[in-house]
Amino acid sequence: MQQLDCPIIGRRPISEFVYGGEVRRPPPGDAPLADVADHAFNRTGQPTVLREWWFHRPTGRWFVLERNTLSNVVERVVPPQEVAYAIPTL
Amino acid sequence: MPWRLLKIGLRGAHKEPRFFPEPADLRDSYDVVIIGGGGHGLACAYYLATRHGIRNVAVLEQGYIGGGNTGRNTTIVRSNYLTPDGVRFYDASVRMFQRLSQELDINLFYSTRGHYTLAHSDEAMRTMRWRAEVNRHLDVDSQVVDRDAVGRGIPGLDLDCGGSQPVMGALYHAPGAVVRHDAVAWGYARAATNNGVEVHQKTRVTGMQVENGRVCGVATDRGNIRCGAVVSMVAGSTPRITEMAGLSTPIEIFPLQACVTEPVKPFLDTIVVSGSLHVYVSQSSRGELVMGASVDPAVLHSTRSSFEFVEGLADRIVDLFPFTARLRINRQWAGMSDMTPDFAPIMGTTPVSGFYLDAGWGTWGFKATPISGSTMADTVANNRNHELIEPFRFDRFADFQLVGEKGAASVGH
């Protein structure tokens, strides 16, 4: 069974996680439409170390991992401070 | 004939014609370079040579022909899509498939089976009615059938699916078919080489030369090639190629897995898909059940198959066909799907002049092999998008003109 390292409670089966996709910096509110479309649709498609959102269902927490999309090895857990700009605020 | 056999026995078979002629050395210049020797690339080469007289064409394949997603899909051909753009396009493909064995002079084992898409909820029934109306409007044979008709049409099916998700009805699509996928690639490859196209296997493209917004050649692990046009038809490797051309796309690569059981007596003469149970199944002419599910949960550039997939699929197929609990899985495999946000392909011209893209084939590419080959050949020959692929153009995302085909994907993703 494939497992993923949950930063909160350690290694858990992959079936407990939901994939949230690549972390992308949203454009400013007055950005031109082309930038909005680029943010909405375009992705880093080629194999690389990708910074991506993951959700752990049982603990109900979102977190960010850096994962090699060729080897499927998680290289780093990204502290929330590093991606704070992307976390929705009330 | 025995004399001929004796002659071959004594003299050897080296002078006999082979299915594929020995490829010539890679030249340093072609009119058109097609990257990817799968069904799409070989079909495009064939139609460039036969319909447009462009024979100075090289197909470059990093592995062997048909060894990528052409040989990894579950061989289903259908046109019961949701958007008029999609239905028109895939219907043209089904019609080409029906004549293809004759045209390529090879037995493709094309077998029209009928195709049931099961609905387990009111919402799914609504989508089935929607698809049936769009299909019939465009002269595609699809109809909504009720639960009893599903029971009569599919032997061995548990209409209650173990009690959890009872079948309410289905979309029945009579032209749905299965076809031997390797033979499609082989047939197109032979027909293309007979018309002067060069197919180079084990030739990997490592770079692309773009000058002043115009493509002028590719670099390969066997040397550089100058060319007037490059067509990328590489499915799961698309982002690597578009990166060479300096283009951003919405394509993400997810593994898609499938498996076959041990062969059993023929009992299932139709194709069964359940979106809610994330499974599709048909019986091959060898008697194996060919089964697939939705894509893996996260982006990954890998063709390794996983235990999670086969465990999940077995759980759901036993709900659908209880007797399959006695069957064993013989083989499982994976392919790399180039998924797009709207579940429609990305085809035609790109911002780089002379660079054409045939991509975003996700989990729906094999059934489009003949039509994408012919429309891309037309697009390359005339340097403007063929009318059938205009809705799938590269810049539709920048214009927010998505095609919205997710409701017709074989299983929910």
A25 pLDDT band, cuts 50/70/90, is confident
Query: Residue B223's pLDDT is what?
Result: 95
**pLDDT score of A87 more than 80:** no
Question: Above 50 in pLDDT, residue B18?
Answer: yes
Tell me the count of A-B CB pairs closer than 8 A: 66
C-alpha distance from B359 to closest chain A C-alpha (Å)? 12
Segment among A1-10, B26-35, B115-124 with least mean pLDDT: A1-10
Domain harbouring A37, CATH code: 3.30.2270.10
pLDDT at B413 exceeding the cut of 60:
no
| Burial degree of B328 (CB within 10 A; 0-12, 13-18, 19+) | exposed
- Closest Cα in chain B to A46: B239
| pLDDT for B412 | 55
The verdict on A17 touching B (C-beta cutoff 8 Å) is yes
- Determine which of A3, A17, A24, A43 to mutate to test the interface with B (most B C-beta atoms within 10 Å): A43
Question: Can you state the angle between helices B39-52 and B181-194, rounded to 10 degrees?
Answer: 30
Least confident among A3-12, B225-234, B252-261: A3-12
Give pLDDT, residue B78.
97
How far, in Å, CA of B301 to CA of B146, rounded? 41
Task: Compute the distance between CA of residue B159 and CA of residue B117 in angstroms, rounded to an integer.
Answer: 13
Q: What is the 3-state secondary structure (H, E, C) of chain B?
A: CHHHHHHHHHHCCCCCCCCCCCCCCCCCEEEEEEECCCHHHHHHHHHHHHHHCCCCEEEECCCCCCCCHHHCCCCEECCCCCCHHHHHHHHHHHHHHHHHHHHHCCCCCCEECCEEEEECCHHHHHHHHHHHHHHHHCCCCEEEEEHHHHHHHCCCCCCCHHHCCCCCEEEEECCCEECCHHHHHHHHHHHHHHCCCEEECCCCEEEEEEECCEEEEEEECCEEEEEEEEEECCHHHHHHHHHHCCCCECCEEEEEEEEEECCCCCCCCCEEEECCCCEEEEECCCCCEEEECCCCCCCCCCCCCCHHHHHHHHHHHHHHCHHHHHCCEEEEEEEEEEECCCCCCEEEECCCECEEEEECCCCCCHHHHHHHHHHHHHHHHHCCCCCCCHHHCHHHCCCCCCCCCHHHCCCCC
Q: What's the mean pLDDT in B110-136?
A: 96
Chain A residues whose CB is inside 8 A of the B360 CB are none
| ipTM exceeding the 0.85 mark | yes
- How far does CA B392 lie from the centroid of its chain? 16
Find, in chain B, the residue whose alpha carbon is nearest to that of A44.
B252
What average pLDDT is seen over chain B? 95
Range of the domain at A54: 3-26+33-86
Question: How distant, in Å, are the alpha carbons of B73, B162, B277 from that of B281?
Answer: 12, 17, 11
Contact call for B250 and A1, based on CB within 8 A: no
Least confidently predicted of A20-29, B279-288, B367-376: A20-29
CB contact under 8 Å between B251 and A43, yes or no, is yes
* Confidence band, pLDDT 50/70/90 cuts, at residue A81: confident
Q: How many domains does chain A have?
A: 1
Contact residues, chain A, for B254 at CB < 8 Å: none
Q: What is the mean pLDDT of residues B187-204?
A: 96
User: Across the interface, do B253 and A69 touch by the CB < 8 Å criterion?
Assistant: yes
Does residue B280 have a pLDDT over 60? yes
Contact state of A46 with B239 under an 8 Å Cβ cutoff: yes
* Inter-chain residue contact B301 with A70, CB threshold 8 Å: yes
Cα nearest neighbour of A3 on chain B: B308
Q: How confident is the model at residue B4 (pLDDT cuts 50, 70, 90)?
A: confident
Average predicted confidence (pLDDT) for chain A: 88
pLDDT at A90: 46
> Mind listing the domains of chain B with CATH numbers?
25-72+182-250+342-408 (3.50.50.60), 112-176+252-339 (3.30.9.10)
Indicate yes or no: CB of B308 within 8 angstroms of CB of A14.
yes
Nearest CA in chain A to B300: A69
Q: How many helical (H) and strand (E) elements, i.e. helices and strands, does chain A have?
A: 1, 6
Confidence of residue A1 (pLDDT cuts 50, 70, 90): low
B239·A52 Cβ contact <8 A: no
A32 touches chain B (CB under 8 A): no
B235 touches chain A (CB under 8 A): no
pTM value is 0.94
Kindly determine whether residue B239 and residue A2, on different chains, have CB atoms separated by under 8 Å.
no
Chain B contact set for A50 (CB, 8 A):
299
Section B404-412 average pLDDT:
74
CA distance B46 to B107: 18
**Is B127 within 8 Å of chain A by CB?**
no
Res. B24 pLDDT band, cuts 50 70 90: confident
B306 touches chain A (CB under 8 A): yes
Provide the pLDDT confidence category of residue B262 given band limits of 50, 70 and 90. Answer: very high
* B249 vs A: CB within 8 A: yes
CB B257 within 8 A of CB B293: yes
The reported pLDDT for the residue numbered B410 is 65
Which whole number is the average pLDDT over B27-49?
A: 97
**pLDDT value at residue A86:** 58
